């Protein structure tokens, strides 16, 4: 099969087309003939050499895909050959075929193209597990997501809005802020222009602050988050674009009874990922099929142009998802 290889850790142009043997399904796994795959920030970090592949995972890039089931491993009963699925992958999606645990696959939502379906798993698993499972975000609460125009951000805004939450966000341009507000944010603040956004968000929430904050930035934003958090607020970190090592005054954490937590998705157990998949099927798939939530796809590239997709991801010019088309015939 064809796949995208990393010729050497470094810039996007080090992604090259290559060939290897098609994977086979082990016990509890399925093999998917890939139609489309998502490009995500961890892919970029892995390409740069800073994201070690977990034991047993494919070294090939790609954490989400859609396509057709072409092989079943022993013990798989929930899928049949020919089923159309999208799946959270443990790596390997930048290829014509990928194998995944059967429990991490979900049916393509009714009315969705394969391209749209491939844009779902990584961001929806991440947002659901961190914002709703880990942080316990509830209707009527105030929620802030940094980087609202990213794939994670556009997903978080829509999911929170659909569940009756007051959504706020930061983004890096007026265009991105407008897009976030169109998706359901009450207010999106351009952090490049309004550097004192902590005070702005406190004013917007009548000094209550944010019950839940989803942070992908780290660095100085850690202090910002503590200052913006409401009493009993929950701050969830899922990435550190500005660095993970900071000096923090913990007194307001204690006084406001804050919870600071975080997680990574890829190293979690198959059982944990399967539980998230079942929650998405029950709670989110009906919203997708009703048109309440729609994945935001900014651009798609042929698999052979993965380098161009990574360059776009690193430019941060996109609003929503960057995708790879592997087999348009599906």
What pLDDT, on the 0 to 100 scale, is given for residue 290? 98
- The CB density around residue 297, as the number of other CB atoms within 10 Å, is 21
CATH code of the domain in which 218 resides: 3.40.50.720
Average pLDDT, stretch 49-63?
93
Q: What integer is the mean pLDDT of 198-226?
A: 97
Residue 151 maps to a domain: yes
Domain final residue, candidates 219, 244, 262:
262
Tokens of 284: 């989110």
Task: State residue 188's pLDDT score.
Answer: 98
Same domain (yes/no): 257, 273: no
Cβ atoms 25, 73 nearer than 8 A:
yes
For residue 330, is it within any domain? no
Domain boundary among 242, 262, 282: 262
Structure confidence by residue, pLDDT tens digits, 14-28: 999 999 999 999 999
Q: What is the pLDDT of residues 66-76, one digit of tens each?
A: 999 999 999 99
CATH of the domain at 313: 3.90.180.10
pLDDT-derived band at 195 (thresholds 50, 70, 90) equals confident
Structure confidence at residue 213 as a pLDDT band (50, 70, 90): very high
pLDDT exceeding 90 applies to what percent of the chain? 95
Question: Which pLDDT belongs to residue 328?
Answer: 82
What pLDDT does residue 309 have?
A: 98
Residue range 58-83: average pLDDT?
Answer: 98
The reply to whether 78 and 150 lie within a common domain is: no
Same domain, yes or no, for 109 and 150? no
pTM: 0.96
Q: Same domain for 278 and 244?
A: no
pLDDT tens digits for 84-104?
999 999 999 999 999 999 999
Same domain, 258 and 270: no
| Same domain for 66 and 54 | yes
Alpha carbon distances (Å) from 135 to 72, 139, 159, 163, 294? 36, 13, 14, 14, 23
* Same structural domain, 9 and 69: yes
Q: Categorize the per-residue pLDDT at 148 as very low, low, confident or very high, splitting at 50, 70 and 90.
A: very high
Share of the chain above pLDDT 70, in %: 100
Q: Are residues 131 and 198 in the same domain?
A: yes
Residue whose C-alpha is closest to residue 89's, from 34, 151, 134, 168: 34
Question: Could you tell me if residue 108 is inside a domain?
Answer: yes
Domain hosting 240: range is: 124-262
pLDDT at 241: 87
pLDDT beyond 90 at 256: yes
245 and 270 share a domain?
no
Predicted confidence at residue 196, as pLDDT, reads 87
Average pLDDT of the chain is 97
* Residue 97 and residue 219 in one domain: no
The reply to whether 295 falls in a domain is: yes
CA atoms within 13 A on the CB side of 186: 17
The answer to whether residues 59 and 167 belong to one domain is: no
Q: Which of 226, 242, 262 is the last residue of a domain?
A: 262
**Structural domains in the chain (count):** 2
Q: Are residues 36 and 106 in the same domain?
A: yes
pLDDT of 202 above 90 = yes
């Amino acid at each position: 099969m064809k796949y995208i290889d990393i010729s050497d850790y470094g810039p996007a142009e080090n992604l090259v087309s290559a060939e290897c043997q098609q994977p086979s399904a082990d016990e509890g796994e399925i093999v998917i003939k890939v139609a489309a795959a998502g490009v995500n920030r961890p892919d970029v970090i892995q390409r740069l050499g800073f994201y070690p592949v977990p034991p047993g995972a494919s070294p090939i890039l790609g954490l989400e895909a859609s396509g057709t089931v072409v092989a079943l491993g022993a013990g798989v009963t929930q899928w049949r050959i020919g089923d159309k699925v999208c799946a959270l992958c443990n790596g390997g999606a930048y290829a014509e075929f990928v194998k995944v645990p059967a429990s991490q696959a979900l049916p393509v939502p009714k009315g969705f193209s394969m391209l749209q379906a491939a844009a779902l798993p990584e961001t929806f698993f991440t947002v659901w597990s961190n914002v709703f499972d880990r942080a316990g975000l509830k209707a009527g609460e105030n929620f802030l997501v940094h980087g609202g125009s990213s794939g994670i951000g556009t997903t978080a805004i829509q999911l929170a809005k659909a569940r009756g939450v007051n959504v706020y966000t930061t983004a890096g341009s007026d265009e991105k802020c407008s897009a976030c507000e169109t998706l359901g944010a009450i207010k999106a603040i351009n952090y490049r222009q309004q550097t004192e956004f902590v005070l702005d968000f406190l004013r917007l929430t009548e000094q209550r602050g944010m019950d839940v904050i989803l942070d992908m930035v780290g660095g100085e934003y850690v202090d910002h988050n503590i200052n913006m958090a409401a009493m009993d607020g929950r701050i969830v970190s899922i990435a550190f674009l500005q660095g993970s090592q900071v000096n923090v005054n913990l007194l307001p954490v204690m006084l406001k009874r804050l919870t600071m937590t975080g997680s990574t998705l890829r190293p979690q157990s198959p059982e944990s990922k399967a539980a998230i998949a079942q929650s998405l099927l029950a709670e989110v798939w009906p919203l997708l099929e009703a048109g309440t939530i729609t994945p935001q796809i900014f651009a798609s590239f042929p698999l052979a142009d993965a380098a161009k997709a990574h360059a776009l991801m690193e430019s941060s010019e996109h609003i929503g998802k960057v995708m790879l088309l592997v087999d348009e015939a599906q």
